[in-house]
Structure formats: C-alpha cells, structure tokens
Amino acid sequence: MTADSTYPIEPWLVRETRLDLDRLAHSESIFALSNGHIGLRGNLDEGEPHGLPGTYLNSFCELRPLPYAEAGYGFPESGETIINVTNGKLMRLLVDDEPFDVRHGELRSHERILDLRAGTLERVVEWVSPAGREVRVRSTRLVSFTHRAVAAICYEVEPINEPARFILQSELVANEAMPPRKKDPRVAEVLEAPLAAEEHLARDAGGLLIHSTKASGLRVAAAMDHLVSGPEDTLVDTEAFPDWARTSIACVLEPGQQLRVIKLVAYAWSGRRSLPALRDEAGAALAGARLTGWDGLLSGQREYLDSFWRGADIRVDGDPEVQQAIRFALFEVLQAGARAENRMIAAKGLTGPGYDGHAFWDTETFVLPVLTYTHPEAAVGPLRWRFLTLDAARERASTLGLAGAAFPWRTIRGQECSAYWPAGTAAFHINADISDACLRYVHATGDHDFERDFGVALLVETARLWRSLGHHDRHGRYHIDGITGPDEYTGVIDDNVYTNLMAQRNFNAAADAVIRYPQVARTLGVGQEEAASWRDAAKAMHIAYDEELGVHQQSERFTRHPEWDFEDTPAEKYPLLLHYPYFDLYRTQVIKQADVVLAMHWRGDAFTKEDKARNFAYYEERTVRDSSLSASTQAVMAAEVGHLDLAYDYLGEVALMDLRDLNHNTEDGIHIASLAGAWLALVAGFGGMRDHDGTLSFSPRLPHQIERLDFALLWHGLRLWVSVAPQEVTYEVRDGDSPAGAQIELMHYGEPVTIEVGAPVRLPIPEMAPVGPAPRQPAGRAPRRRSASDANSQTPVDAQSDD
C-alpha cells in the first residue's frame, strides 16, 4: 500500500493539477459523475486518450452465457454485464485543422476539479497546437440530481495569441471499442458491439440514436441538443448515422472572443416501452433541460447538495486528509443512490464496469446504513428494488428445493449471476442482510407504509428460507449448514456465526411483523404455527464457540483448522484468491474479510465486552483484508475494544482506498461500499453509534490524532447532531422546523438520555483502557500506521473555506 498523494488536500475539492497519462483510468473513476441513474466516467472531453470509456445507465445490461467446465444442477445459465451505452460526453475540437489532443503539441497546463458542493467536474486547459496556435479550453460537466435523465456540459474555447478557426464536433457514439479484459474475476467481461441500431435522427443543433440489446431485450434512446454562443457567422450542422451522430460547430475567433456551447444530453431506456415512447421520453427530458437552462441546472445541483450536506456532513478536526476523503466518500455514496429509484446500487456504483456492474450484499450491509441515517429517500429505492425482484428470488429458492426467497449473490436485474457456487449461491447470508437493512430503515425513519407494503414480505420470505435451510438436531439446537459466510476464504461450512446471528434476528423480526400486520400475513399465507416455528428456531440457534480458546468460532470447527503460513507468503501473492487454489484457502485459518468481527458490529447485542475483545484479537491475527470491505469493520470494532490507534490506521486505509488507489484497482470503478465504510469507521467507530432493534446508542471515543468529530444522523425525521471532543460529547436536535416538544431518546454509554429540540445535552466520556494488548496482524498485512504527521503531510489548500 502506498501513501502517495495524487490530489492536494482541500476540504471540498478533489483537484488534479497535472495530467498523468499513465493514470488515466484511475482518474476517470475518481472524476466520474453520477446521479444513481446515469453514470459518466471522467473521460477527457475529446474522448482520447482514455483509459476506459464509460457511460452507464442503472440496470441497463446485456445477457451472456456462463461457461462451466462441468454442468451442475441449479447453476445459473446466463450472466448479466453492464453495458457502455451511447457516449454523449464527446466534444472533439480542431484548431486550424489540428485536432486538440493532449498527446501532441504543448500542454502548458491542465487542471480538473471535482467540486463536492457544486456537483460538477471542471476542466481548464491551455494548449499550443503543433502549428503554434495557443488556445484555452474550459469545460464544466454535470449529471443532474434534479433532472434524473439529463447530463450537461458547458464547453468554452478561446484563442490566446492570434485568430484561429475552430471546429467543435459534439457527438453521440454507440459501440465504442473497449480495452481487452484482464485476467481478474473482479473486472468486467468485454462485450463487443452489444447495441443494435434501430433509429437515428438529426436536426440543426442536435440528434438522436436509439439502440437495443441483442439478448436482454432492452432499448435505449440517447438524444443531444446544443445552445451555441459565438460570432454571428458561426455555423451549426448535424448529421446522424446508425452508431453515431455529430453536431459540428464552426467559427473564427479573435483573441478576446469566445465560443460557448452548452450540450444537453438525455437518456431513456426500458425493456417494455416502445421505440416511439422512448424517443418521446428522451425528447421531453431535453425540453425540460432547455427550459431550466444551464444556470438553472447549476443552481439546482447546488441546492440539492446544500440540502444533503446540511444533514450529512462530517467534520474531522485534526486530520485534513481524512476530512477531504470522508466528504469525497459521502459524495460518491450519494451519487450511487440519489436517483436510483427502485433500482440497485452496484459495487462500483456507475463509475466503472468492475464486477460486471453487479450488486452484492455490499449495498445492504455498508451503503444503505449510511443513506438510511443521512438521506433516507435514497435508501428506500434499493430496498423497494429487492421487493420488486422477490418473484425471481422465490423462483431461485424453488429451484434449490427451498422455501421462501433466495436472493442472488450477484445480480443486476434480480437473477443469480454467480458462476462460482461456494462464494455465490452458498452465501445465503445476503437474505438476512436484506432483512436487516429493511429493519434498520424502518427503525430509523418510522416509515410504516414501507414496512407494510414491502418490508413484511421481505422479512417473511427470507425467514421461510432460513426455516427450510436449517434444522433442529436431536438436542433441539438449530443449525444452518453448508453455507458460506462473509469470509469467502472459508466456503461451504456449518453454522457460520455471522449468518446464524443475522438469521436469528430475521426470524424474530418476521414473527413480530406478522403480528403487527395480520392482513399482510394472511395474504402471504403465514399462520400462527409457522410464525411460532421461526421463534423456536431463533431461540435454539446454535452459535459456535471454542471453550478452550474462549472465542466464538467463525464456523463449526474453524479453530481446529491448520494455520496459514503467513511468514512465507510474499507480498506479491496477495490477494490470495489470484495466486492459490481455493482448496488451500478453505481448509486453513486465513480470512479474506471480517466475519465474526462483522457479526460483533451488527449483532453486538449478542456478545459480551469480554467476548468482543478476545474475538477481535483472535481474528485480527488471521485476517488479510483481501477485500476492501474489511478495514471499516475492523476500524469499528478496534475502536469499541479500545485500540484507538489501530482503528485510526484502518480509518486511513478505508477512507483513502480510492483517492490513493491503495488496492491498485480503482481504474475499474471506485469502491462504493468501502467509501461508505469510511462513514461507518467514523460514526460507528469513534462515534460509537449503534442501532440494535430500534434503540439508538452512542459510546464515543476519539484517538489522540483527531481533535474533534462532528456528525449528524436523521432519526424519525429529526436531525441529531453529535459533537465529540476528547473528554465530552454534545447531543443536539437542531432542526429549525421540528414540532414543539420533539425529542430523541438514546443511550449514552448504556444510560438513557432524552434530547429535546433546542436543549443540547453535554455528557462526559468515561476513561477506558484497551482490553488486552494491541492485537497483531498477519505478517505483512498490518495497516499502514497513520500518525498526525501523515494527516498533515500537506498544507491544506483553502482550509478556511470549510464552512
């Protein structure tokens, strides 16, 4: 892992001060823009050079066959891969017949800025053509939060030293050539020319392309329009062909003159709607954008983000690098879900094609908690999406000979797309993760309409799965065997502690829900006997424990497996899954990502303080963090058991995962769940926030490197502000429009506290020593130590603007 800093430390900006052609793919992910519906990778305006072109629409994918060396019953027959749809970002510029290309001529300066408050990507370039023409190009790009189907670019060009002729070619291009796929199961399959042309139209200042996929039966319309400001004799012309449309804008500019083009791009897609309907939908989106205008789009973007930041911002005094990183993280989580609206949130969001654009359990376990407590209107859409895929999950369960619903391990539209059974189908814990996300959302929001209309069915069908998957032994204990927990280096095992504890909560929650909603229960066919069987199973759930070692076993017999030889595993052999057979991984005590430790976070009510300390130390020695999901959970639990410096080290790793490209794979898209984990590390870790069965509690404690931590939570419509200092914490309900008498009840270090509007409560933070000595990590796998000098290794730019 490297501590190299690519971007200056600034509180609200991510700035690239020079263009590094060797890191284009990485910067394209960092500078990607999305609203949860449309995603544009941060490719250069002119399209070339590029690392990986990318324009995505949430859930727009193509089917592909899943090859097997040997067929097996229940194996998925086809997978889904996100498609690079019609590219509307392209703005090619010619200066006196010389293409503007940063690889030629002289690039005097090149700067890009991702503005986290404005929601824009800005670019300023000064370039000298091979013929000596000096030009300045400015562009501002946005994907609108307020116009779901619209992206827009303001492109400005001017000569610097002498007159020049400029030709700007603004394009829509389908079926772009893509780089070859790497031999890494975490990156995407490459589908060549996946779109079949259906219609193309051109008019003076814009055009339209409509395509369909060849197997999945989806159709997409992409339309563009332009608002041109330039000399009176500026020429504008458009031509269109099956796979591309081009609007050419030509003029001669004198020094001091400027050509300004506002490009509006709209997308519409469906698997059901007709071609004319999509044509009209894209046209209507363009009309709405024209009505709003460029300035209106900018102001709408800023207003949306102002509202978001008022309730979601986190202030970290003492570490400006983490301060920048957590705001970048929150911005990216928002981009992934803001306008997803009944669709999924993929592991990479809409920033790249990694993992084929699939959604995993990452969404419910890491991303949705952040959105639930900061921007719940963005959390409810992916939960409704799970409900909308319930029939596919029921069908999958039936195929497997199970009752209820078996949700897919990886998917785009609800069908199982994992071709590797042990880490896919066997990872049934995703069903409990979904039920837990539903519970968490209802507890935090009080949205009982959602609970009645969507949540009860999800709880019931997942409980039915656990009841048919598990069994009572002759002693009455309940077991769930032959499954895979969060740690994918321990596959197809019995009684995974995380899975069993989450299923236990699932059972009890489903039984409670059918009592609250008897009519829904009758519709689902749930009787008293079935609900009673869920409670019996929950009460009898077997939790594996090693009495000799005094630790919970990740799964039955885990602690008697041989140890992995960490000392003789060289650094270049990580991640292990790319260098060793799964057979070796499965039969040893080596852990890809937090598993029992994750259970102690989300089911902390099932462990004692002593359990947590012993378990954390034991599993810390065996966890290699080959998954970006792990460090945040390790940070949370390290903080809880008192190892604050270690928690701080893990915070640095999770917060800087993409900005510093710590895993060297950000080029395929950023790690949305890891970025959400930065919020968890701060709020659940150093803020000590927990929500067990609707009881909100805090046990905050800061490492010495952080001077103050301020964060907000939305709880039942009230905004709770928490300000943590080294020796005390202040709780305050600040919402100005809160009803008189509104209050939040919470627990502070186990003691009940009531926080009323306008009446802050200041409480001391008790002293706490670490429980036991500092835990060790596998040889070579300790997180990079993070100190105050690391946090302040660069002078923050514009530090006073953090208001």
Instruction: Say which CATH number the domain at 498 has.
Output: 1.50.10.10
Q: Which residues contact 292 (CB under 8 A, 6 or more apart)?
A: 146, 147, 300
User: Do 60 and 182 belong to one domain?
Assistant: yes
Q: What is the pLDDT of residues 284-296, one digit of tens each?
A: 999 999 999 999 9
* pLDDT tens per residue, range 358-385: 999 999 999 999 999 999 999 999 999 9
Task: Provide the token pair at 637.
Answer: 């639990």
Q: How many domains does the chain have?
A: 3
Domain containing residue 58: CATH number: 2.70.98.40
pLDDT surpasses 60 at 627 = yes
Query: Could you write out the DSSP letters of every residue in 435-455?
Result: HHHHHHHHHHH--HHHIIIII
Residue 592 is labelled as binding a ligand: yes
Q: Which domain holds residue 457?
A: 421-441+449-624
Residue 662 lies in a domain: no
DSSP 354: G
pLDDT per residue over 559-577, tens digit each? 999 999 999 999 999 999 9
Which has the higher per-residue pLDDT, 179 or 765?
Answer: 765
Confidence at residue 96, expressed as pLDDT on a 0 to 100 scale:
96
Do 742 and 593 fall into the same domain?
no
Q: Which DSSP state fits 776?
A: P
Residue recorded with tokens 């197997």: 215
Given the residues 158, 171, 176, 488, the one annotated as active site: 488
Q: Which of 243, 261, 279 is the last residue of a domain?
A: 279
Q: How far apart are the first and last CA of the chain?
A: 33
pLDDT band at 791 (very low <50, low <70, confident <90, very high): low
With bands split at pLDDT 50, 70 and 90, how would you rate the model's confidence at 768? confident
- pLDDT value at position 183? 60
Side chain identity at 631, as an amino acid letter? A
Of the chain, the percentage scoring pLDDT greater than 70 comes to: 96
Q: What is the mean pLDDT of residues 432-451?
A: 97
Specify whether 600 is located in the same domain as 716: no
Q: What is the mean pLDDT of residues 219-244?
A: 97
What letter does residue 785 receive in the DSSP assignment?
Answer: P
What token pair was written down for 783? 């997180």
pLDDT at 191: 77
Residue with tokens 């390290």: 638
Confidence of residue 192 (pLDDT cuts 50, 70, 90): confident
- Is residue 3 over pLDDT 90? no
Q: What is the pLDDT of residue 738?
A: 61
More confident residue, 69 or 641: 641
Query: 2 falls in which pLDDT band (50, 70, 90)?
Result: very low
Taking residue 469's Cβ as centre, other Cβ atoms within 10 Å add up to: 23
Answer for the pair 625, 663: CB distance below 8 angstroms, yes or no.
no
Q: Does residue 395 fall inside a structural domain? A: no
Residue 737: CB atoms within 10 Å: 7
Confidence of residue 182 (pLDDT cuts 50, 70, 90): low
Could you give the CA distance from residue 217 to residue 24 in angstroms, rounded to a whole number?
33
Q: According to the annotation, is 361 in a ligand binding site?
A: yes
Positions of E strands within 66-194: 78-82, 91-95, 98-99, 106-115, 120-128, 134-143, 150-159, 164-173
724, part of any domain = yes
Q: What is the mean pLDDT of the chain?
A: 94
Q: Is residue 785 part of a domain?
A: no
The answer to whether residue 211 is domain-embedded is yes
The whole-model pTM stands at 0.96
Residue 593 known to bind ligand: yes
The rounded distance, in Å, linking the Cα atoms of 17 and 106 is 16
3-class state of residue 796 by DSSP: coil
Tens digit of each residue's pLDDT (9 = 90 or more) over 578-596: 999 999 999 999 999 999 9
Residue 27 confidence (pLDDT): 97
Neighbouring residues of 582: CB distance < 8 A, sequence distance ≥ 6: 422, 489, 491
Tens of pLDDT, residue by residue over 259-275, are 999 999 999 999 999 99
Q: Is 488 a catalytic residue?
A: yes
Question: Where does the pLDDT of residue 742 fall: very low under 50, low under 70, confident under 90, or very high at 90 and above?
Answer: confident
Instruction: Tell whether 213 and 82 lie within a shared domain.
Output: yes
Structure tokens at 458: 């999800």
Looking at the structure, tell me whether residues 211 and 71 fall in a common domain.
Answer: yes
In a domain, 18, yes or no: no
In a domain, 640, yes or no: no
In Å, how far are 305, 439, 441, 516, 535 from 455, measured between CA atoms?
29, 8, 10, 12, 18
Among 730, 728, 724, 725, CA closest to 755: 730
Kindly state whether residues 587 and 734 are assigned to the same domain.
Answer: no
Same domain, 96 and 243: yes
Neighbouring residues of 234: CB distance < 8 A, sequence distance ≥ 6: 228, 249, 250, 251, 259
* 312, 330 contact by CB (below 8 A): yes
- φ/ψ of 507, rounded to 5, equals -55, -50
Tell me: pLDDT of 679 over 80.
yes
Distance (Å, rounded) from C-alpha 650 to C-alpha 644?
10
- pLDDT of residue 254 exceeding 50, the answer is yes
